[in-house]
Structure 1
């Protein structure tokens, strides 16, 4: 018995205390996984503070040995670095040229930016063209209404062309570098290419004259008037020695040569010709003698555009109330810029110059569209062939309502096509009323719509004078077709942040005795 009792005590000591009945609820909770602060119940522990794990980013070669403690990031890494993904904090790279040429993510190198004022649209555009300039792409800002991109272009060693009343002039009848390029092509035996350059220059000049008449009248010229203008330009090229201006075109029409009377169908009756050209002469007289469009287009070009560097057309001297003049100047800058691009491509095709690619910025698109009937067709003709001529472009407007606030239904459909045809659409903060119009052009999920609406809220109330940014400043949603949007927070470099490149409120700063000097050119076009 003693041996039996001793064995029983030893067995109980080695076996340990009796196990309680299993708790089914606790087992189920353990199998379901830990809570927010750790494993609950017996043997677990509730942490008072859950530490955040530091995340690192690397290539697949660098982190391949860390499996399974790694996860893939879906944000693209080809293009200009813009900032961080709002949710994953991964680096987001994006620009229309890189996504078209290298990544093959879009079908044409174009982008459309929509967003309320003051949320960073200009900052995003500057980041793109600064990064593209480092890749050898020349930025062309064809009409800077607020002077926002001048410092950035100067930092790149680019050309600043000032336009405005008493500031600078742009002769819309100036063929630019087309005549010189055509001569080089003919000397090298490329006669067909030279003919195409001259024909393109003639078409752009005619298009600009018709556009100015449309803005001046708020109505396009008749078909017969356009035919007369076309023939008058050809007569002017044949008979005029030098570069003509609008006054010379008016003199040709007034002189009534036989070529113009023939297309005017006067049947030998000069009074019929005078009746057909009376309204045209009156409009051209207003364009040469002042009028609401001033004399900006009536004199020789003061600063011819170069094709081998970044260029910005500074039109900030034009008052905001002169909407017709702003629209006319924007169209003239766009036409002049695309004409220079065509000349560069023709010379490169003939191996007379190196191949150059351009990134064209078309700001305040809505101003040109609202300037008169038929202006949508003019803008569409200027911008439709960007893929075939080696040009990436980005168009900027505030809202879809700005594009669709046109009187004619066919113009509204064409304006919406600018957004639909873009390779990518980049949206900033937008009001809730815009969602119906925006989703009719590009698909947006309900979550994406709510994100855009939340970004347009004003900053928090603060009466202490503290600089409080609105919640949506620098935040954009990149949309490509039906793919989920990429929300990105733009990150600025020290040069952009402290160098004054993104300060668009310079008129509110107190003027010092010594004006700051222009930024030093960035060597090699890099940041």
Structure 2
């Protein structure tokens, strides 16, 4: 058997050897390939590669036919020596894998593969390759010096588990005593979690709660506790005035769909200051409203006429008409219902979590959604700033506050082209001094790209990327490095198909588990899911450092609590439809 095999291999090698070029002819062919262009170059290179491949095949077929001694020699192939005592393995087993630190396994390079699994906070899931636990949240990662600022960005297509990931991060923050603020829950995805942890839920929008942008709010309350005439009180007053002005200007730009003129912003600043001037009827406990601002500007006090550089009442009236129209848009209709009433929202920082439910604003009303989101974000940052004012001035009972602000659906504000871009950018730059961790969530960078806001994403020190298409990776690739394997992995997750293995496993489990009434129907936990649901790639810092791929793990207790069940309404409708069809 062995001799026949040997002769066959030698005959095959001799046949291939007849097609080989000499060394001189091969060198000449390589020179032709190097000097050629276009299709001819590719053809010549293929001929060179074919020659080298054939030479390697001849060498493999003819080697180890003898070892210089007068004895029979076992045949050698890819599975070992054939024959008794040859150690041939008909089934080649994969090598045993061990994990260790780079210090411990550095000596066996290059037979190592990077598979880091950082434990930087809340346990999120398991590494897709090694199965090791992966943990992360922005504040803890910053504390451990893994990132230089507590900012995070999450990007993934709809329906692939962004909200579940956010809830896992929020639960870890709450467990460590960090205040979690969700100042714009438009779906709402985090309301149930807030209620179950004993947090505060406030509704904002049509027919529900209101946010008055001229309300002095928590910063006004903090100022009342500072010594009168002190430098700290004056600084806080200036910061509050700037916050009120920025919020009014941002709302006017949204309803106007364009920027304000320079003198209009100056005029608004003077008008807000006059509303709260000493002796005025408006105070911290009795706030002015937008209609009061409109009345004051329309009356035309001397200072406001000077700001408009108007010599007569008629000239002043003509210059402020566009501003009055914009202010009336905030006083009347749907905007007036939300922004021209006394505030019903006051964030309680003693609660573990605060959620501003804005789901009453319909998705089609883009301008209104952008306005309420911006107002909610302003309230959240104001609450944190007020806590810092009290702590910095050592007011009795005050303490330093660490907060994590989750900004979901950022694109809905960015797409308006309003001043929100500059405002969020400024907040992101000052996160460490404000004691605020911030996580921004979106499903695409297209809107950021349109308004030139990609810098906000670039300055996020941690990026978590879920299933996205190739075009989205190209945008992310401007400031992130993805290896070929990472690109293929992330785009593969976005392929909305169900793993046949996982589906069969789920169906087997569903058959064993029936509902309590014994009718044999499967439970909600056995529903089909796309293959990429819950898969994310965590990348920290800069450079080409490999990311950490993981799958979000949800404990059974969280599943039973219902905090992750965002499809309850859709599933109920589908079950009712199926019941009606069966009847």
Same fold by TM-score, threshold 0.5 exceeded?
A: yes
Output the CA distance in 2 between the equivalents of 1:452 and 1:23: 50
Distance 2:170 2:391 in 1: 22
Paired residue for 1:359?
A: 404
State the distance in 2 between where 1:280 and 1:488 align.
Answer: 52
From 543, 547, 557, the counterpart of 1:485: 547
2:483 to 417, 441, 445: 445
**What is the 5 A alignment of 1:409-428?**
411-412=451-452, 415-428=453-466
Deviation at 1:240, TM superposition (A): 3.0
Contact 2:116 2:548 in 1 (8 A): no
Which residue among 346, 358, 361 is the counterpart of 1:318? 361
Tell me if structure 1 keeps the 8 A contact 2:75–2:81: no
Query: Does 1:95 find its partner at 2:134?
Result: no
Q: 2:378 aligns with which of 335, 338, 358?
A: 335
| Residue deviations 1:200-258 (CA, integer Å, cap 9, x gap) | 22111111111111110100111110000000000001123321111111111112112
1:263/1:506 CA distance change after superposition, 3 Å: same
Query: Cα distance 1:247–1:447, how it changes in 2: closer, same or farther (>3 A)?
Result: same
**SS of 1:177 mapped into structure 2:** helix
Structure number having the greater helix percentage:
2
Match of 1:257 among 298, 301, 309: 301
Q: Kindly report which structure 2 residues correspond to 1:398-417, keeping only aligned pairs within 5 A, or say none.
A: 398-404=443-449, 406=450, 411-412=451-452, 415-417=453-455
- In structure 2, the residue matched to 1:67 is none
Q: Which moved more, 1:496-505 or 1:324-333?
A: 496-505
2:556 counterpart (473, 491, 494): 494
Deviation at 1:192, TM superposition (A): 2.4
Instruction: Name the residue aligned to 1:197.
Output: 236
After superposition, where does 1:40-439 map in structure 2 within 5 Å? 41-43=83-85, 44=87, 46=89, 74-101=116-143, 103-186=144-227, 191-238=230-277, 239-241=280-282, 242-267=286-311, 269-290=312-333, 293-309=335-351, 310-352=353-395, 353-404=398-449, 406=450, 411-412=451-452, 415-439=453-477
How has the CA–CA distance of structure 1 residues 25 and 49 changed in structure 2, closer, same or farther, with 3 Å as cutoff? Answer: closer
TM-score, scaled to structure 1: 0.82
Q: Would you say the 8 A contact 2:151–2:428 is kept in 1?
A: no
Structure 1, unaligned runs of 5 or more: 1-18, 64-69, 512-527
What CA deviation, in whole Å up to 9, does each residue of 1:276-319 have, x standing for no partner? 2111111111211115x352011011131112221111001110
Aligned pair count? 466
Bigger-Rg structure (1/2) = 2
For residues 139 and 130 of structure 1, the distance between their equivalents in structure 2, rounded to whole angstroms, comes to 9
Corresponding residue SS for 1:355: coil
Question: For residues 475 and 461 of structure 1, what CA distance do their matches in structure 2 show?
Answer: 13
Q: Deviations over 1:139-161 (max 9, x none)?
A: 00010010110111112211101
CA contact (8 A) 2:115 2:548 kept: no
Question: Are the equivalent residues in 2 in contact too, given 1:335–1:382 (CA < 8 A)?
Answer: no
Q: CA deviation at 1:52?
A: 11
Deviation, 1:508, is: 1.6
CA distance in 2, matches of 1:247, 1:476: 48
Which one has more relative contact order, counting CA pairs under 8 Å at least 6 apart?
A: 1
